[in-house]
Amino acid sequence: MRILKSLIIATVMLATSSANAALVSRLGGAAYYDDVANLTWLADASAAGRTMNWASANSWAANYTTADGIGGWRLANTVQADASCDSSANNCRGSEMGDLFYNTLANTAGSLSNTGPFSNVQSYYYWSATEYAPDTGDAWNFGMGNGYQSKLNKRYSLYAWAVQSGDIGVVSAVSIPGVSAVPLPAAVWLFASGLLALLGLARRKR
């Protein structure tokens, strides 16, 4: 009984530490999972190696595969309209890149002071996957150097940063066809629930 209680305490501690983690290394450091936003970002923010127009940036992300053979990437999305923006279109935290810049990496408007574990983060503009609704000849972009969100004609050349919904590390670690992976925090709590059930059963038997 004492061992079972110790296991439950350890499991709860593990779950708490997992919930507090912001960026978790995946694919041997080739990607990082943001467990608050539930997004996985490529570690190399300029993996494409060059700037490109909007259509090419989307195509590059959609066709990108890691050394582990992980595909399914895309460009980040932008909320329309983003009510979090101020009058200068700074502090836009509603988009996925804005959330990464301001909330996860804790940068401030006008300054890229923290790039976290990511490499090759350019102090320039990155394409969003989202078109500008009033004029679809434009698309949203985000300035990783200053936290500024704006629209731009799709013909311009900007950087592209690949992201993926969910935790790809869990999926690649399981790699069982037809079996859905459970994110670590959820799996931990499921394990803890099982232990609690066993504890209750042991008490009833006594």
Residue 9: per-residue pLDDT? 44
Domains of the chain, by residue range, sit at 23-182
CATH topology of domain 23-182: Mannose-Binding Protein A; Chain A (3.10.100)
The whole-number average pLDDT for the span 70-75 is: 97
Which residues, in sequence order, are CB contacts of 149 under 8 Å at separation 6+?
A: 78, 82, 85, 89, 90, 92, 95, 98, 140, 141, 142, 143
Give 74-102 pLDDT, tens digit per residue: 999 999 889 999 988 889 999 999 999 99
Strand ranges of the sheet holding 31-34, from the earlier edge strand across to the other edge: 23-26, 31-34, 39-42, 163-165
Give 102-116 pLDDT, tens digit per residue: 999 999 999 999 999
Spatial separation of the C-alpha atoms in residues 193 and 121, rounded to whole Å: 41
pTM: 0.74
Peptide bond into 81 cis (omega under 30): yes
Convert 99-131 to b/e letters by CB count within 10 Å (16 or more is b): bbbbebbebeeeebeebbebeebbeebbbbbbb
Residue 124: per-residue pLDDT? 97
